[in-house]
């Protein structure tokens, strides 16, 4: 329901002010802006909202005259005097006006910008982050920006949820920062291994960690500059982790030597594990995955996304020996997934899919309820089901389902 409909609904005006504020605060930022113009009673409600989202094309999308008027009234006369300003300049000025006039605690802040960032814009982001950190109220921060983040990003000591996309972090690990994170989400983020480990070790309360899209010929992911971190050191930084999502490319920083069969530190709280870009013909990745499963006795949900790279296809598919690369029951004889209830397996483009791992999970999971397969073509779906349905199962109630994209 948008702002106009809320205002037209006469019953909302009879509600207590705290309930009205709660309703308004749940609206998208642009809807709150419109409401501030359409009703005198709501004109300044935006100054108290605890959550705000700013995105670069906000002004370009607001082509309606009333919507433009709303933004101009909300963020001051300066916007009307600078019509020739770029949308990015307008965005920064809108943020400054908002921060200047905002009252009460601001707990959730999102800034989304696309494209290349010049030094002057990075300086603007630095000033905004410094202002937000000094408020000492921000709990959730989301930054979508194609730039190197300024050091002020480490000034948030009350932050519990951090979401970063498209940026890079390159600062001395002496910067403490954070310390209270329970959720860390990274996508298309470039970071050195030492900085990455420093952030993890400084946030022992981390319960949810996601790092997607890294490695290969991309410039994103964990950069290993002749540094070496063991798998056990990684696990020690995640003592209470419950939800873990990793891109397989990023695990190479922790398997530069022989992957151990077991580690001293177990992920006893881990309940959800998602591996993206997994490839079974990469032996080290497979060993790491098995180690993760062996070290997670309370794992409840496992999701694997298998893909293949056309650039690598000719190199390995002709010589691929399933007997050498397959997961065997003997290799994993000590694995027993007594709490696993859900397995999701996505397999796209691999010419010789290896189903031994799925068969292993079926045979080692006594309370497994669902195995969901997602493939690219219908003939692949039929081939999978034909291979898996007769397989031995430890769970008497497991259901195997599948669907294809084409």
Instruction: Tell me the two tokens of residue 322.
Output: 């399933």
Kindly report the CA angle at 193 between 191 and 197, in degrees rounded to 5?
105
123: which 2 tokens? Answer: 């300086």
Q: Strand order in 301-307's β-sheet?
A: 51-55, 108-116, 140-146, 161-165, 183-187, 208-212, 243-247, 272-278, 301-307, 342-348, 370-375, 399-404
Using alpha carbons, select from 308, 379, 306, 309 the residue that is nearest to residue 344.
306
- Listed in order, strand segments (DSSP E) in 75-216 are 108-116, 140-146, 161-165, 168-169, 183-187, 190-192, 208-212
Instruction: Measure Cα distances from 226 to 190, 222, 258, 329 in Å.
Output: 16, 12, 16, 36
Token pair belonging to 286: 């497979």
Q: Can you tell me which residue has the tokens 């209830």?
A: 341
Per-residue pLDDT tens listing for the chain (406 residues): 454 455 445 555 566 766 766 666 666 666 666 666 656 666 667 778 888 888 877 655 544 444 444 445 555 444 444 443 567 777 888 888 888 888 888 999 999 987 666 677 788 888 999 999 888 899 999 999 888 888 888 888 889 999 999 888 887 655 666 889 999 999 989 888 888 888 999 999 999 999 987 554 455 678 766 677 888 899 999 999 999 999 888 887 887 666 777 788 899 999 999 998 887 767 778 888 888 999 999 999 999 988 765 444 444 444 444 444 455 556 677 889 999 999 998 877 655 556 788 888 999 999 999 999 888 777 778 888 888 888 999 999 999 988 877 7
HSE (side-chain half, CA atoms, 13 Å) at 121: 20
DSSP 3-state of 169 = strand
What is the domain partition of the chain in residue ranges? Answer: 1-52+62-87
Judged on CB neighbours under 10 Å (0-12, 13-18, 19+), 228 is exposed
Concatenating the DSSP letter of every residue in 302-337 gives: EEEEEE--HHHHHHHTTT--HHHHSPPTTTTTT---
Q: Return the closest-CA partner of residue 268 out of 207, 329, 334.
A: 207
d(CA 161, CA 180) in angstroms, rounded, equals: 9
CB 36 within 8 A of CB 45: yes
- Separation CA 375–CA 306 (nearest Å): 10
What's the rounded Cα separation, in Å, for the pair 159 and 177?
A: 9
Please tell me the pTM assigned to this model.
0.82
- 10 Å CB burial of residue 194 (0-12, 13-18, 19+) is middle
Q: Structure tokens of 228?
A: 């070496």
Strand partners, 273: 244, 302
Rounded to whole angstroms, the Cα distance separating 289 from 320 reads: 20
């Amino acid at each position: 329901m948008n702002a106009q409909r809320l205002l037209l609904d006469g019953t909302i005006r009879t509600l207590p002010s705290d309930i009205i504020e709660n309703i308004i605060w749940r609206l998208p930022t642009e809807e709150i802006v419109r409401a501030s113009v359409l009703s005198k009673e709501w004109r300044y409600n935006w100054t108290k909202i605890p959550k705000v989202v700013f995105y670069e094309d906000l002004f370009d999308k607001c082509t309606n005259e009333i919507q433009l008027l709303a933004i101009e009234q909300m963020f001051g006369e300066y916007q009307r005097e600078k019509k020739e300003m770029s949308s990015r300049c307008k965005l920064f000025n809108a943020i400054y006006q908002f921060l200047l006039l905002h009252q009460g605690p601001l707990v959730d802040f999102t800034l989304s910008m696309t494209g290349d960032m010049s030094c002057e814009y990075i300086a603007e982001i630095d000033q905004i982050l410094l202002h937000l950190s000094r408020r000492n109220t921000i709990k959730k921060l989301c930054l979508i920006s194609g730039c190197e983040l300024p050091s002020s990003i480490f000034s948030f000591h009350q932050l519990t949820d951090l979401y970063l996309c498209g940026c890079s972090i390159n600062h001395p690990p002496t910067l403490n920062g954070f310390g209270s994170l329970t959720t860390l989400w990274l996508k298309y983020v470039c970071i050195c291994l030492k900085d990455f480990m420093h952030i993890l070790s400084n946030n022992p309360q981390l319960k949810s960690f996601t790092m997607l899209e890294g490695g290969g010929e991309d410039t994103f992911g964990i950069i290993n500059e002749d540094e070496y971190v063991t798998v056990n050191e990684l696990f020690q930084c995640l003592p209470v982790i419950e939800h873990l999502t990793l891109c397989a490319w990023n695990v190479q920083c922790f398997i530069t030597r022989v992957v151990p069969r077991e580690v001293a530190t177990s992920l006893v709280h881990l309940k959800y594990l998602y591996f993206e870009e997994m490839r079974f013909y990469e032996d080290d990745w497979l060993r790491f995955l098995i180690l993760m499963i062996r070290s997670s006795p309370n794992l409840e949900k496992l999701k694997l996304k298998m893909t293949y790279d056309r650039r690598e296809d000719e190199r390995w598919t002709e010589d691929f020996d399933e007997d050498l690369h397959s997961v065997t029951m003997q290799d994993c004889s000590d694995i027993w997934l007594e709490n696993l209830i859900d397995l999701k397996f996505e397999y796209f483009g691999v010419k010789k899919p290896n189903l031994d791992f799925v068969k292993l999970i079926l045979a080692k999971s006594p309370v497994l309820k669902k195995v969901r397969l997602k493939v690219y073509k219908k003939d692949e779906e039929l081939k999978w089901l034909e291979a898996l349905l007769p397989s031995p199962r430890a769970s008497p109630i497991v259901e195997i389902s599948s669907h294809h994209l084409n």
